[in-house]
């Protein structure tokens, strides 16, 4: 009867937990994931402790309690699709590895022409683009990307850009203009912001 009384009190308070009791001692098993576990335990103890006949209350994680799998992209279907474009092969591969450790998987292109070719073959959400490259430079690549794939966000990452090129890149629709060397966490944050912007636009 005591278990039933405690379960009823919890339900009326909008709480849930499997209740076990013996000689006035109540054990509450938490079997559902809650964000603020400590606070949830306090509420369970507070509500159960007020039930007549309860002498002590303890809480434990039940066998069905599971934390959600870590998904940095929430409920988005499939991972974001990033592309790094830079002719400095050692730099771009190192950058890719460092971003991978931050859950940012990226494909790689070594020049503007290859990037445009890949863009025509596969879906891309965000491009991180160097300016000074052989063949089609970064500004022209940006121009063509925004002309043919306006939904793609482009981040300029350069070690040689001028104020004029920065202004031009912004006029052409670049999401951000960053200079090398860049703090990897700053770049990761800007990439996530660019991706969020692209997805927000898609949902409009």
Give residue-wise pLDDT tens across range 94-108: 999 999 888 899 999
Asked if 28 and 114 sit in the same domain, the reply is no
Residue 15 or residue 169, greater confidence: 169
The Cα 123–Cα 57 span in angstroms is: 55
* pTM > 0.85: no
As for how many domains the chain has, the answer is 2
Q: Region 112-124: what's the mean pLDDT? A: 92
Q: Are residues 16 and 116 in the same domain?
A: no
Is 86 part of a structural domain of the chain?
A: yes
Q: Is there a domain that residue 77 lies in?
A: no
Among 61, 90, 112, where does a domain finish? 61
Q: 71 in a domain, yes or no?
A: no
Q: Flag whether pLDDT at 204 surpasses 60.
A: no
Same domain (yes/no): 111, 192: yes
Residue 67 has pLDDT above 90, yes or no: no
Q: Model confidence at 78, in pLDDT bands (50, 70, 90)? A: low
Q: How far apart are CA 152 and CA 188, in angstroms?
A: 17
Domain span at residue 133 reads 82-203
């Amino acid at each position: 009867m005591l278990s039933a009384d405690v379960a009823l009190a919890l339900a009326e308070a909008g709480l849930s937990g499997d209740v076990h009791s013996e000689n006035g001692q109540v054990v509450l098993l938490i079997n559902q994931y809650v964000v603020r576990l400590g606070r949830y335990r306090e509420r369970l103890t507070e509500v159960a402790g007020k039930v007549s006949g309860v002498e002590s209350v303890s809480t434990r994680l039940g066998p069905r309690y599971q934390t959600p799998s870590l998904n940095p992209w929430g409920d988005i279907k499939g991972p974001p699709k990033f592309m790094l474009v830079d002719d400095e092969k050692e730099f771009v591969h190192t950058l890719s590895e460092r971003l991978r450790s931050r859950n940012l998987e990226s494909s790689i292109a070594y020049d503007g022409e290859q990037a445009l070719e890949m863009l025509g073959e596969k879906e891309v959400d965000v491009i991180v683009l160097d300016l000074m490259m052989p063949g089609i430079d970064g500004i022209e690549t940006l121009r063509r990307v925004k002309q043919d794939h306006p939904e793609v966000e482009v981040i300029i990452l350069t070690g040689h850009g001028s104020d004029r090129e920065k202004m031009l890149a912004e006029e052409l629709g670049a999401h951000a203009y960053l200079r090398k060397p860049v703090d990897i966490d700053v770049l990761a944050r800007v990439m996530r912001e660019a991706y969020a912007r692209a997805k927000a636009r898609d949902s409009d």
